Amino acid sequence: MRKTRAKKRILLPDPKFNDPLVTRFVNNLMYDGKKSVAFSIFYDAMDIVAEKTESGNGLEVWKEALTNVMPHVEVRSRRVGGSTFQIPMQIRPERKISMAMKWLIQYSRSRNEKTMAQRLANEIIAASKEEGAAVKKRIDTHRMAEANKAFSHFRF
């Protein structure tokens, strides 16, 4: 039998926007435990986003970008009678958010602007307009699930 599920740890809200979701994003952004560096990158990116968009509120644009990147279905591998099938499955809300955050950060890092704050800001702006690499990843994930719909009766 499996062990009990790990308890959810409560994250403290960030100092500037007072939002635990921001803290969660910054924790994913952080390298080598350098949280202050990660926070400064995120806040600089928010300033750039607020500057470049007419909304003037970087956090709203970031939340919209996160929603646009969030996948709803994914494929999971399952062995049935010696062959492996890609089975489409719904994603739990917690996992949706973490996947969206990880994709935003991953594709921000692979961009070629000068500073990480600029990369992150531009990826956020692109995602809020339903474009950019992170949104493409979500679309590809959905397309893969759609293509493998025939195997959905093999659910776990």
Nearest to 48 by CA among 103, 107, 114, 125: 125
**Cβ atoms within 10 Å, residue 12:** 8
- The model carries a pTM of 0.91
Q: In a 3-state reduction of DSSP, which class is residue 76? A: strand
Could you report the per-residue pLDDT of 95-127, keeping only the tens digit for each?
999 999 999 999 999 999 999 999 999 999 999
Nearest to 25 by CA among 5, 45, 7, 6: 45
The CATH fold assigned to 20-71+92-140 is Ribosomal Protein S7 (1.10.455)
pLDDT exceeds 80 at position 156: no
- Beta strand extents in the chain (DSSP E only): 73-80, 83-90
Could you report the per-residue pLDDT of 134-152, keeping only the tens digit for each?
999 999 999 999 998 888 7
> Given the structure tokens 């093999």, which residue do they identify?
154
Number of H helices, E strands in the chain: 6, 2
Q: What is the mean pLDDT of the chain?
A: 92
Could you report the per-residue pLDDT of 31-82, keeping only the tens digit for each?
999 999 999 999 999 999 999 988 778 899 999 999 999 999 999 998 888 8
Q: Confirm if 85 and 76 have CB atoms less than 8 A apart.
A: no
pLDDT exceeds 80 at position 155: no
* Helix %, strand %, coil % of the chain (to 5): 60, 10, 30
Report the pLDDT value the prediction gives residue 8, as an integer from 0 to 100: 87
Region 9-35 average pLDDT:
94
Cβ partners under 8 Å of residue 16, min gap 6: 22, 43
